[in-house]
Amino acid sequence: MSSGPVRAAWLRIEEIIDPLFPGGTNPMRNLGALACLMFAALLVSGIYLYIHFDTSTDGAWQSIKRLSDEQPWLGGWLRSMHRYAADLFVTFTLLHLLREWVLGHYSRFRAMTWLTGVPLLAFMYVSGIGGFWLNWDVLGQYAATASAELIDALPMLDGTLARNFLDSGAVSDRFFSLLVFIHLGVPLMLLFGLWFHLQRVTRPRILPPCALLLGQLVFLAAMALAWPVTSGAPADLDRVPVALALDWFVLHPLPLATALSAAVFWSLLAVLFGVLLAMPVFYARHTEPVAVVDADNCNGCRRCVDDCPYSAITLEAHPDGKPGKQIAVVAVERCASCGICAGACPSATPFRSVSELVNGIDMPQQSVDSLRRKLVDDLAHAETAPVVVFGCRHGIDVERNRSVDVLGYNLLCIGLLPPSFIEYALRGGAAGVVVCGCADASCEFRLGNQWTRERMLGTREPHLRRTVPPDRHRVVMLGRHEQGPLDAAIDSVRKNTSQGGNP
Amino acid sequence: MNKPLVWMGQAVLYAALAAVILVFTRWPSYQNLPADSALIKLSISHQGKVLGDCVELTPEELAKLPPNMRAPVSCPRERSPLTVEIDVDGVLAYRQVAQPSGLSSDGAAVVYHRIEVPAGAHAIEVRMKDDARSEGFDYTRSETVTLAPAEILVVDFDAAERRIILL
Ligand code: HEM
Ligand code: SF4
Ligand code: SF4
Residue A341, CB-side half-sphere exposure with 13 Å CA sphere: 33
What is the pLDDT, as a whole number, of residue A61? 94
* Contact assignment for B110 to A160 by CB distance below 8 Å: yes
Query: In what order do the strands lie in the sheet containing A473-478?
Result: A406-411, A387-392, A432-438, A473-478
Residues of A in contact with B21 (CB under 8 A): 84, 87-88, 223, 249
Query: In what order do the strands lie in the sheet containing B37-46?
Result: B109-118, B37-46, B152-158, B163-166
- Say if CB B111 and CB B82 are below 8 A apart: yes
SS (H, E, C) A168-225: HHHCCHHHHHHHHHHHHHHHHHHHHHHHHHCCCCCCCCCCCCHHHHHHHHHHHHHHHH
> Is the beta carbon of A347 within 6 A of some atom in ligand 3?
yes
- Residues of chain A with pLDDT > 90, as a percent, come to 87
Alpha-carbon distances, residue A183 vs A303, A372, B108 (angstroms): 44, 59, 29
Amino acid, res. A77? W
In angstroms, what is the span from residue A332 Cα to ligand 2's centroid? 9
- Say if CB A430 and CB A473 are below 8 A apart: no
- Say if CB A92 and CB A128 are below 8 A apart: no
Sign of CA dihedral A109, A113, A119, A121: negative
Pocket lined around ligand 1, Cβ cut-off 6 Å:
A 32-33, 35-36, 39, 93, 96-97, 100, 105-106, 110, 113-114, 117-118, 120-121, 124, 194, 197-198, 201, 204-206, 276, 446
Those of residues 141-180 in A touching chain B at CB distance below 8 A are 142, 149, 152, 158-160, 162-163, 166-167
Map residue A103 onto helix, strand or coil. Answer: coil
Q: Which of A152, A163, A244 sits opposite B30 (nearest CB)?
A: A244
CB count within 10 Å of CB A297 equals 18
Kindly state the average pLDDT of the residues A314-339: 96
- pLDDT tens string B76-124: 889 999 999 999 999 999 999 999 988 888 889 999 999 999 999 999 9
Question: Does position A1 have pLDDT exceeding 90, yes or no?
Answer: no
CA distance A247 to A182: 20
- ipTM at complex level: 0.92
Interchain contact A213–B (C-beta under 8 A)? no
By most ligand atoms within 8 Å of CB, the mutation choice from A306, A347, A349 for ligand 3 is A347
CA distance A417 to A388: 13
- pLDDT tens string A95-150: 999 999 999 999 889 999 999 999 999 999 999 999 999 999 999 999 999 999 99
Architecture field, domain B32-49+80-166: Sandwich (2.60)
> CB-based burial of residue A240 (10 Å sphere; 0-12 exposed, 13-18 middle, 19+ buried)?
buried
What is the pLDDT, as a whole number, of residue A57? 86
CB count within 10 Å of CB A339 equals 27
* Contact assignment for A22 to B6 by CB distance below 8 Å: yes
Q: Which of A21-25, A187-191, A313-317 has the lowest mean pLDDT?
A: A21-25
Q: Give the highest mean pLDDT range of A77-91, A274-288, B40-54.
A: A77-91
Kindly state the average pLDDT of the residues A236-265: 95
What is the pLDDT, as a whole number, of residue B131? 92
Question: Does position A50 have pLDDT exceeding 60, yes or no?
Answer: yes
Map residue A164 onto helix, strand or coil. Answer: helix
Question: Does position A503 have pLDDT exceeding 60, yes or no?
Answer: no
Question: Does position A48 have pLDDT exceeding 90, yes or no?
Answer: yes
Question: Does position A4 have pLDDT exceeding 80, yes or no?
Answer: yes
What is the pLDDT, as a whole number, of residue B103? 85
What is the pLDDT, as a whole number, of residue A286? 61
Whose C-alpha lies nearest to ligand 3, atom 5? A300
State pTM to two decimals. 0.94
A266 falls in which pLDDT band (50, 70, 90)? very high
Would you kindly state where each structural domain of chain B is located, as residue ranges? 1-30, 32-49+80-166
What is the pLDDT, as a whole number, of residue A157? 78
Would you kindly state where each structural domain of chain A is located, as residue ranges? 25-282, 292-498
Single out the residue of A135, A172, A164 nearest to residue A147, CA to CA.
A164
Q: Which of A178-192, A285-299, A327-341 has the lowest mean pLDDT?
A: A285-299
Kindly state the average pLDDT of the residues A284-302: 90
* Contact assignment for B33 to A240 by CB distance below 8 Å: yes
CA distance B16 to B28: 18
CA distance A142 to A236: 10
Those of residues 90-129 in B touching chain A at CB distance below 8 A are 101, 107-108, 110, 112
- pLDDT tens string A447-476: 999 999 999 999 999 999 999 999 999 999
CA distance A497 to A129: 64
- Say if CB A341 and CB A361 are below 8 A apart: yes
Interchain contact A249–B (C-beta under 8 A)? yes
CATH number of A25-282: 1.20.810.10
- Stated as kind and residue range, the H or E segment containing A90 is helix A77-102
Residue A70, CB-side half-sphere exposure with 13 Å CA sphere: 7
Interchain contact A223–B (C-beta under 8 A)? yes
What is the pLDDT, as a whole number, of residue A402? 82
